[in-house]
Amino acid sequence: MEGNLKNVLVLSFGFLLLFTAYGGLQSLQSSLYSEEGLGVAALSTLYGGMLLSSMFLPPVLIGKLGCKWTLVLAMCCYVAFSLGNFYASWYTLIPASVLVGLGAAALWSAQGTYLTIVGNMQARKTGQVGKDVVSQYFGIFFLIFQSSGVWGNLISSLVFGQMPTQGCGFLAVLLMAVFLEPVRDAQPEGEDEKQAPPFWSTLLSTFKLLRDKRLRLLILLPMLSGFEQAFLSGDYTRSYTTCALGIQFVGYVMICFGAADALCSVLFGRLARHTGRTVLFALGAVTQLACIIALLLWKPHPSQLPVFFVFPSLWGMADAVWQTQNNALFGVLFEKNKEAAFANYRLWEALGFVIAFGYSTFLCVSVKLYVLLGVLSAAMAAYGAVEYTESRKADGPLAAGRTKPAEDGATQTKL
């Protein structure tokens, strides 16, 4: 098997194992620990920790440890959270949530950086366009990773009241430590000899990248990802599924979301090279818009059982667009600052989660849907502005210098 693809599969199955143990727990937090708001508080704390650590931690850890060992260290934090659920209380679950929040930013920043690097390596090796290979690798990753939502929620549904086996988390750490190959980003000729940037420069690189106007516009995309995932896992499961059908159906509803997300991820990863990413972004926006409007009008009743599974399936389809195309877009546009770019992605996504979970107990469901509708509209408008600007650059007199073959494929942004 080709080496870069092998590493993508090792990374993907490592996340599959880790989130099979963790995913079911996360989707049940707001329902399982509803007394005194412990579940929502745990989720809010988790994403609050992720928000804070995204500001500084990922570029430093990735710079010092490399992507591989950053991934291994961060996975250990997730294992600790899963273990904390065995004795769930304010004194165990909140500290465990802080720990996994700190690890989550590093985990996902290293994941995005690693996939972008190996995608560009493969593009240079085969003479393909970098953005196409990166998008395809993200599609493969999310196909395998999102299936963890199926297995984790299936376990949590079949053995409700017990916790999924934690052996999966330990196996994930072992798999990554033994089989994932370290990678080093290819540098332009002469840059290898340059002195490493000072520690404080690396520490603040997440904020320094915000000087780029494109990033300031695109921060709404990861925020949208946070808002929409928080709504499904925190509000749809509680206000629609649990109220009408009972908590025993939450896992099965989330299975539909995970299955649709997984299948559409690999599909969209491959379609992107033929359709361009704008078509996929439009598909995701229209799908989620239709779901929001329908949820505002729908009055759930136990007799409408199939409808409860249609919404998470369509939601998973839209989420597949955000996960594959958002990540690929950040890797392509900010190829020279990948660590800081993905740290920003997780920072603003975590902020979306924190805001959504923060107002979860204060606002009614219809207001939350209107908020989500506003974020969706603003994010698509900002994304359209970036694509318009990039397309004008690609068509301008300097285009020839930016659209050279596969060696520079990762920096190409033309549709």
At 53-83, the pLDDT tens digits run 888 889 889 989 999 999 999 999 998 888 8
Most confident of 128-132, 254-258, 260-264: 260-264
In this predicted structure, what is the pLDDT of residue 39?
Answer: 74
Confidence of residue 21 (pLDDT cuts 50, 70, 90): confident
Query: What's the whole-number mean pLDDT along residues 371-394?
Result: 93
**Residue 407 or 227, more confident:** 227
How many whole angstroms from its chain centre is CA 20?
A: 15
pLDDT, mean of residues 27-41: 64
The pLDDT of 29-41, averaged and rounded, is 65
Q: Map tokens 């500084």 to a residue.
A: 56
Burial class (CB in 10 A: 0-12, 13-18, 19+), 391: middle
Q: What ranges do the domains of the chain cover?
A: 1-182+212-393
- Whether the per-residue pLDDT at 44 is higher than 80: the answer is no
Question: DSSP letters of 205-248?
Answer: HHHHGGGSHHHHHHTHHHHHHHHHHHIIIIIIIIIIIIHHT-GG
Give me the CATH code for the 1-182+212-393 domain, please: 1.20.1250.20
H-helix or E-strand containing 415? none
Higher pLDDT, 33 or 176: 176
Average pLDDT of the chain to the nearest whole number = 84
Non-local (6+) Cβ contacts of 182 within 8 A are 66, 67, 68, 69
Asked if the model's pLDDT at residue 405 lies above 50, the reply is no
Q: Is residue 400's pLDDT more than 70?
A: no
Is the Cα dihedral 237, 218, 188, 398 positive or negative?
positive
Average pLDDT over every residue of 113-124:
94
Q: How many CA atoms lie within 13 A of 90 on its CB side?
A: 6
pLDDT of residue 159: 59
Average the pLDDT over 335-355 and give the result. 90
Of the listed ranges 76-80, 106-110, 187-191, 305-309, the least confidently predicted one is 187-191
Report pTM: 0.81
- CA geometry: angle 228, 230, 235, nearest 5 deg: 100
Residue 358, pLDDT above cutoff 60: yes
Model confidence at 398: pLDDT above 70: no
Residue 185 DSSP label:
-
